[in-house]
Amino acid sequence: MNSLNAIRLFTASVDAGSFSEVGRRLGMAPSSVSRQVAALEDSVGAQLIHRTTRKLSLTEAGRLYFERVSRILAALDEATAAVSHLEESPRGVLHVNGPTAFGVRHVAPALPDFLARYPEVRIELTLTDNFVDLLEVGADVAVRVGELEDSSLIARRLAPNRRVLCASPGYLAKAGAPERPQDLADHNCLVYTRHHGNVNWNLGGPDGLAEVRVGGNLRTNNTEAVHAAALGGLGIALLPSWLVGQEVQSGRLAEVLPGYRAAPGALDTGIHALYPADRHLSTKVRAFVDFMVERFGPRPYWEDPPQDGADASPMG
Amino acid sequence: MNSLNAIRLFTASVDAGSFSEVGRRLGMAPSSVSRQVAALEDSVGAQLIHRTTRKLSLTEAGRLYFERVSRILAALDEATAAVSHLEESPRGVLHVNGPTAFGVRHVAPALPDFLARYPEVRIELTLTDNFVDLLEVGADVAVRVGELEDSSLIARRLAPNRRVLCASPGYLAKAGAPERPQDLADHNCLVYTRHHGNVNWNLGGPDGLAEVRVGGNLRTNNTEAVHAAALGGLGIALLPSWLVGQEVQSGRLAEVLPGYRAAPGALDTGIHALYPADRHLSTKVRAFVDFMVERFGPRPYWEDPPQDGADASPMG
DNA sequence: ATGATATTTGCAAATAAAGCAAAGATGAGC
DNA sequence: GCTCATCTTTGCTTTATTTGCAAATATCAT
């Protein structure tokens, strides 16, 4: 196998006109240059350079090889430079994958700022609700809400994933506001569930953990449907803060049992960015993840303003 | 320095879709493939391939690199093949250098046959009478008559370089034919010399070596002038057999003192082909030299037909 | 002729690459 | 859900390649 180094030394020798000169320029022994070129000649099976102790001159084969190989080396350096250039600063196409609801509400709105900061990046955003293999779909980074499947991917936490009990002010005015978890049993609770069977909400508060069997006239496997029903005044819902936080802040929804918190389950492990555990993390992915971490901060904009103990889980 | 091998393994991995498969195809350990590709990634500073244990997938940088580098590798192989092709059989331009007189009489007439046998060769024939540096003038092979300068070139003997005494039949009819070397002193001898001063001809015969001081009404540093004068009947000349052999055979000139031979001097070491002592002798040069050796044979066509002792130097 | 500098080669040291084995990861099939 | 086969990677050792130095030889300028 003829080595790239030998070819580089060959062209350098042609340029310099002397193996010793090449050695001097490249800081290596002239004998090494001589041997590499000789090895190259052996590998192509032809004399490339006529040598005397005073000067080198190309053979016909050498001239032919030099002309072609010079351009090839330049092209190779260019290709390497192009790839290195890609990593100098965030640039190129960034494939982002995420769940539809969160993506629409919190990823897409962030993109204009991100693209303004990194004008050489182009984003391809794929929103899917079934978990997909990052590499399969060709994504560089994925945003995942809750339940991190075991994988070799690196997960960077972007935000907590708190769930809040809430209902529309209209519903509460009509049905009254529960005062203790047990009161939920007498309310129309809008249940998000993926399976049949009973549903319990686990609520932690000053008096410990309370588990309440809840139900009502709407069960659905779609969070957005629960959300819409709650906004419509149908009943009390347990929904992620990223979905209802801003509506609670604006008063379109009111928090129920504000002194209690839903016990963190598998769905509550947080909101993460996932990306391959490569040795060379691309700058565009790093930039994106850093940007999202910075944008959401320790307390995302959809959460209440800080209050005592609001961030610590009452469940310990 | 990123090695060519690593790049080849990278593209092979992309093609095969697996480091192990590459290892199987190329008969090497998968760990080696993995390490080479990883080293390549380090050298270009970017992840090229996302890996899981089950499949490989290209990063954007990898796709970019693969596309460019595939073409480059193909071009490199092509360049190598082109050079190797040059050496498969005699082909390309062959620069031949030689002295004018001999070249015109015995090299140029040989070329049609040579080119007919090797139709892919093109010849550039440079005839010069001053000795030139082969490499300086870009010649692949030189034909030299006599006096081999000390050099690193390889000399292959093509033919002997005998000198013969001759004169036109007309001159001999008029002035008589000498019978012993001493008789030459009374003849008009046509002297080829490069310097001023006396000229002696050394002749060996049955009665040993005889040195005769010769002279006449023509001294010149040009062999062809001597030749022309001899043909014109001016006198007796000492000329190389390659120049007058065929004329002696045809009777246009007659050999003088045929029992004697000119003592070999520096000019008589023979006729040689010279070419660089490269480790890889190009096939076109080898073909040319072989062709000329074969064409001239042990007894060139310009020499007399074999006769007893005619080929052995009487000088021992 | 002599000196400075060139290529090349032998030899020993340094560097790089290879294989092997083991560990961790992943998907297929039962 | 579990086991198995296969994949990538890493540590370690062995092997192969490359390097530099010194010496031999060659060439040109002075």
Give the pLDDT of residue A229. Answer: 96
Residues A168 and A263 in one domain: yes
Taking C1' of D8 and every protein CA, the nearest residue is B53
Q: Is B229 contained in some domain?
A: yes
Q: How many structural domains does chain A have?
A: 3
Distance from B311 to chain A by nearest Cα, in Å?
Answer: 37
Taking C1' of C20 and every protein CA, the nearest residue is B29
Are residues A155 and A272 in contact, defined by beta-carbon separation less than 8 angstroms?
Answer: yes
Are residues B40 and B2 in contact, defined by beta-carbon separation less than 8 angstroms?
Answer: yes
Q: Which helix (DSSP H) or strand (DSSP E) does residue A213 occupy?
A: strand A208-214
List Cα–Cα distances, A9 to A57, A69, A245, B49, B212, in angstroms: 15, 12, 66, 30, 61
Q: Is B19 contained in some domain?
A: yes
Return the CATH number at B50.
Answer: 1.10.10.10
If you measure CA to CA, which chain A residue comes closest to B277? Answer: A50
Contact B72 A69 (CB under 8 A): no
Q: Is B307 contained in some domain?
A: no
Residues B101 and B45 in one domain: no
Distance from A95 to chain B by nearest Cα, in Å?
Answer: 10
CB A32 within 7 Å, strand D: yes
Residues B288 and B152 in one domain: yes
Q: How far is the CA of B98 from the C1' of D25 (A)?
A: 28
Burial of B152 (0-12, 13-18, 19+ CB in 10 A): exposed
Q: Is A309 contained in some domain?
A: no
Give the pLDDT of residue B1. Answer: 54
Q: How far is the CA of A98 from the C1' of C26 (A)?
A: 23
Q: Is A83 on the interface with B (CB under 8 A)?
A: yes
Are residues B245 and B131 in contact, defined by beta-carbon separation less than 8 angstroms?
Answer: no
Q: Is B305 contained in some domain?
A: no
Residues B137 and B174 in one domain: no
Distance from B316 to chain A by nearest Cα, in Å?
Answer: 37
| Chain D nucleotides with an atom closer than 7 Å to a protein C-beta | 6-11, 18-23, 25-28
Reference B2, options B49, B29, B36, B28; nearest CA is B36
Provide the number of CB pairs (under 8 Å) joining chain A to chain B: 149
Return the CATH number at B216.
Answer: 3.40.190.290
CB A21 within 7 Å, strand C: yes
Q: Name the stretches of chain A with pLDDT < 50.
A: 308-316
Give the pLDDT of residue B102. Answer: 95
Question: Using a CB-CB distance cutoff of 8 angstroms, which residues of chain A are in contact with residue B38?
Answer: 279
Reference A178, options A208, A212, A209, A227; nearest CA is A212
Alpha-carbon span A290 to B74, nearest angstrom: 40
Q: How far is the CA of B51 from the C1' of C27 (A)?
A: 14
Question: Using a CB-CB distance cutoff of 8 angstroms, which residues of chain B are in contact with residue A75?
Answer: 68, 71-72, 75
Which residues of A, range 215-244, sit inside 8 Å of B by Cβ?
Answer: none
Distance from B95 to chain A by nearest Cα, in Å?
Answer: 10
Alpha-carbon span A80 to A162, nearest angstrom: 46
Q: Is B309 contained in some domain?
A: no
Residues B167 and B253 in one domain: yes
List Cα–Cα distances, B272 to A82, B145, B245, in angstroms: 55, 6, 18
**Which residues span the domain enclosing B103?**
92-161+269-296
Render each residue's pLDDT in chain B as its tens digit; 316 residues.
Answer: 569 999 999 999 999 999 999 999 999 999 999 999 999 999 999 999 999 888 899 999 999 999 999 999 999 999 999 999 999 999 999 999 999 999 999 999 999 999 999 999 999 999 988 777 887 788 999 998 887 776 778 889 999 888 899 999 999 999 989 988 889 989 999 999 888 888 889 888 887 888 899 988 999 999 999 999 999 999 999 999 999 999 999 999 999 998 888 877 656 678 999 999 889 999 999 999 999 999 998 889 998 765 544 444 444 3
Question: Using a CB-CB distance cutoff of 8 angstroms, which residues of chain A are in contact with residue B61?
Answer: 83, 86-87, 92, 282
**Strand D: which of residues 156-185 in chain A lie with Cβ below 7 A?**
none
Q: Is B206 contained in some domain?
A: yes
Q: Is B278 on the interface with A (CB under 8 A)?
A: yes
Give the pLDDT of residue A16. Answer: 94
List Cα–Cα distances, B316 to B162, B298, B309, in angstroms: 14, 19, 11
Tokens of B138: 């870009």
Alpha-carbon span A10 to B4, nearest angstrom: 15
Residues A234 and A208 in one domain: yes
Helical pair B30-44 and B19-26, crossing angle rounded to 10 deg: 120
Return the CATH number at B111.
Answer: 3.40.190.10
Give the pLDDT of residue B161. Answer: 87
Which residues of A, range 16-55, sit inside 8 Å of B by Cβ?
Answer: 38, 41-48, 50, 52, 55
Residues A142 and A285 in one domain: yes
Residues A182 and A241 in one domain: yes
Q: Is B144 contained in some domain?
A: yes
Residues A63 and A48 in one domain: yes
| Residue B5 phi, psi (nearest 5) | -60, -40
Q: How far is the CA of A184 from the C1' of D18 (A)?
A: 79
**Strand C: which of residues 78-107 in chain A lie with Cβ below 7 A?**
none
Q: Is the four-CA dihedral A263, A265, A268, A270 of positive or negative sign?
A: positive
| Chain C nucleotides with an atom closer than 7 Å to a protein C-beta | 5-10, 16-22, 24-27
CB B18 within 7 Å, strand D: yes
Distance from A65 to chain B by nearest Cα, in Å?
Answer: 6
Give the pLDDT of residue A265. Answer: 67
Give the pLDDT of residue A312. Answer: 43
Contact B3 A2 (CB under 8 A): no
Contact B44 A281 (CB under 8 A): no
Residues A156 and A285 in one domain: yes
Alpha-carbon span A253 to A251, nearest angstrom: 5
Give the pLDDT of residue A268. Answer: 62
CB B27 within 7 Å, strand C: yes
Single out the residue in B88, B111, B146 at which a domain terminates: B88
Single out the residue in A88, A113, A139 at which a domain terminates: A88
Residues A35 and A127 in one domain: no
Tokens of A118: 């990194």
Which residues of A, range 121-150, sit inside 8 Å of B by Cβ?
Answer: 135, 138, 140
Alpha-carbon span A174 to B43, nearest angstrom: 69
Q: Is B74 on the interface with A (CB under 8 A)?
A: no
Residues B243 and B102 in one domain: no
Q: Is A5 on the interface with B (CB under 8 A)?
A: yes
Q: Please state the separation of Cα B284 from the chain's center in Å.
A: 10
